[in-house]
Amino acid sequence: MTRYLNEFRPTRRLLMGPGPCNIHPRVLQVMAETCQGHLDPEVTRAMVDISDMLRIVLGTGNEATLAVSGTGSAAMESAVFNVIEPGDKMLVAVNGYFGERLAEVASRAGADVHKVEFPWGKPVQADAVAAELKRLGKVKVVGMVHAETSTGVLSPPAAVANVAHEHGAILLMDAVTSVGGMEVALDKWGVDVCYSGPQKCLGIPPGIAPISMGPRAEEVYKNRKTKVVSYYLDIGLLKEYWMPPHKYHHTGPANLIYAMREGLRMIMQEGLEKRFARHAKNAASLRAGLEAMGMKLFAEPASRLNSLTTVWIPEGVNDAKTRSTLLNEYNLEIGGGLGPVAGRVWRIGLMSDSSHPANIFACLSALEEVMLRQGYEIPRGAGLAAAQKALVS
């Protein structure tokens, strides 16, 4: 029998990696509704609702706030392509994998890219960015990653925005792993361009990604001498489609637009403050559990993400074996390390719907069992007890 004639039924997994997170049935159900045309008034109405809710989640009044039809990486490219022209100087603060990717995207856009590097696991430091800006002279765009998913580290946007503006540059920020799970306040912080992703703390399946451009960035866009290299990701064209008059630009993914509207509506119903508090509390519980199991956390306390926890893999425990056992026997996905910490850390996500005490308990007990099997000695139940205690305290 030819394999492709078999029905495809994806196994239900518990998703506790660096994204995607588990998607709420309400969001999945709306995706199974009828597909409408990309200019159907019901679809365009949903697009306008999405912009309104994205402004709340991003903490901005930016008119140019919409979603690109593509993943977080498409939104990253759109952000860069719209403000960069060939030869422009861009300084990227790199403290992990996604900072590197941002620099790579900028170089493909023809930017004269400079990097200011920080060790993996450490946050970006504004004074080092300032020193580099002083040395470089005229820089058009500074790029940074708010929540570095490769290391679980949070960096300070307001401080970096300040130094960027002092040197006449705009700040472009990746907020893929923070938006919806931790505070993002573009206007208060002075972030000029920001993009995110749906499948991390917004609880929406991949394929549609937020972007927002403030007045300074729109000015940069308006003053371009060359066309944006990508027709598909040109913010001016995207705005004409996403906002009235809703001019055809590409066939917007109607079912993903429904999903994004429903996911954002769930966030509005929960309330941002409550949602951030939930992510914070559950992260504290997971960290307490891991530490009680004798493991060391990778990021420093002051810069840890609530959406993603990085932990050193203990001596004698096999990374690949552990993760494949978790997946195959427990239907549990956690993430491995990237770059210099590949094979040395795990990345455990508590994003959106996945940020729930039951998932923490499931993860800690499965991890305990799999590590015990490999000869790692842990007092039985110590992780669970500490995680429970952190939740009630």
Ligand X SMILES: *Cc1c(COP(=O)(O)O)cnc(C)c1O
Which is nearer to ligand X, 255 or 388 (by Cβ)? 255
Rounded to a whole number of angstroms, the minimum distance from the CB of residue 364 to ligand X is 24
Contact stretch for ligand X (CB under 6 A) within 169-177, 210-218, 226-234, 260-268: 169-177
What's the angle, vertex CA 71, arms to CA 360 and CA 91, rounded to 5?
100
For the segment 337-376, give every residue that binds ligand X (CB under 6 A). none
- 71-90 footprint of ligand X as x/- string (CB under 6 A): xxx--x--------------
174 binds ligand X (CB under 6 A): yes
CA dihedral 177, 178, 180, 186 (to 10 degrees): -130
Q: How far is the CB of 124 from ligand X (least distance, A)?
A: 13
* Smallest gap from residue 383 Cβ to ligand X (A): 26
Q: Which of 44, 149, 282, 307 binds ligand X (CB under 6 A)?
A: 149
Tokens of 9: 């039924």
* Closest CB to ligand X: residue number: 72
Interacting stretch for ligand X, rule CB under 6 A, among 87-95, 171-179, 180-188, 224-232?
Answer: 171-179
43, 252 Cβ separation under 8 angstroms: yes
- Percent helix, strand, coil in the chain, to 5, is 45, 15, 40
CB of residue 238 to ligand X, shortest distance in Å: 17
Q: In the bound complex, what is the minimum distance in angstroms from residue 122's beta carbon to ligand X? A: 16
Q: How far is the CB of 263 from ligand X (least distance, A)?
A: 15
Q: Is 98 in the site for ligand X (CB under 6 A)?
A: yes
Query: Segment near ligand X (CB under 6 A), from 37-45, 66-74, 115-123, 219-227?
Result: 66-74
Do residues 308 and 337 lie in contact, with contact meaning Cβ atoms separated by under 8 Å? no
Distance of closest approach, residue 26 Cβ to ligand X, in angstroms: 21
Interface pick for ligand X out of 80, 126, 145, 350 (rule CB under 6 A):
145
Phi–psi pair at 17, nearest 5 degrees: -105, -160
Distance CA 206, CA 271 (A): 23
Residues near ligand X (CB under 6 A), total: 13
In terms of Cβ atoms closer than 10 Å to its own Cβ (0-12, 13-18, 19+), residue 39 is: middle
Write down the residue that tokens 């992703």 correspond to: 197
Helical axes 254-270 vs 272-292, angle rounded to 10°: 80
Kindly indicate which of the ranges 70-78, 234-242, 332-340, 349-357 contains the residues binding ligand X, using the contact rule CB under 6 A: 70-78
Residues within window 7-26 making contact with ligand X, judged by CB under 6 A: 19
Residue closer to ligand X (CB basis): 167 or 200: 200
Of the candidates 335, 340, 347, the residue with the CA atom closest to the CA atom of residue 283: 347
Burial degree of 79 (CB within 10 A; 0-12, 13-18, 19+): buried
Alpha helices by DSSP H, the chain: 25-31, 41-58, 72-83, 97-108, 126-136, 157-166, 186-189, 215-222, 235-242, 254-270, 272-292, 319-330, 357-373, 382-392
In a 13 Å sphere around the CA of 16, the CA atoms on its Cβ side amount to: 30
**Shortest spacing between CB 102 and ligand X, in angstroms:** 8
Q: Does 333 bind ligand X (CB under 6 A)?
A: no
Torsion angle, alpha carbons of 383, 384, 385, 386, to 10: 50
Say whether residue 306 binds ligand X (CB under 6 A).
no
Check residue 206 for interaction with ligand X (CB under 6 A): yes
Which residues of the shown chain bind ligand X in the complex (CB under 6 A)?
A: 19, 71-73, 76, 98, 145, 149, 174, 176-177, 197, 206
